Amino acid sequence: QVQLVESGGDSVQAGGSLRLSCAASTHTYGTYCMGWFRQAPGKEREGVAFINPYGSTSYADSVKGRFTSSKDNVKNTLYLQMNSLKPEDTAMYYCAAGRGPTCVQRAWGYNNWGQGTQVTVSS
């Protein structure tokens, strides 16, 4: 089990930037797939960024070129840098971890979740 705690959510105007953080309770390098998901009211939870156990990243098309995920393996912390934010990025953002080595870009592939942090982008 991995405990995850997100932070960094806020309200910003369109075009602005935010950096979300996710502190993990244990080392994740080499073991866990890590993901950022978001869920807006009335919508399904969608994956936006993923890091495999060895640090390779992938992104949903909707955020490619605007969001960057990274991981500090010393601090056991995952980050999501979000630039050029749009109103449609408004959602609760969740950090998730699931055992590797095979990583999926679906919520069912992750069994450890943080409590979420709210991002609101106004036009």
CA atoms within 13 A on the CB side of 28: 30
Q: What is the largest CA-CA distance in the chain?
A: 40
Confidence class for position 74, pLDDT limits 50, 70, 90: very high
| Residue 99 token pair | 């055992």
Residue range 82-93, pLDDT digits in tens: 999 999 999 999
**What's the confidence (pLDDT) of residue 39?**
98
Question: Is the separation of the CB atoms in 51 and 81 below 8 Å?
Answer: no
Confidence class for position 3, pLDDT limits 50, 70, 90: very high
Give the torsion sign (CA, 68, 69, 73, 74): positive
| Residue 80 token pair | 């999501």
Helix, strand, coil shares of the chain, percent, nearest 5, are 5, 50, 45
Question: Is the preceding omega at residue 53 within 30 degrees of 0, hence cis?
Answer: no
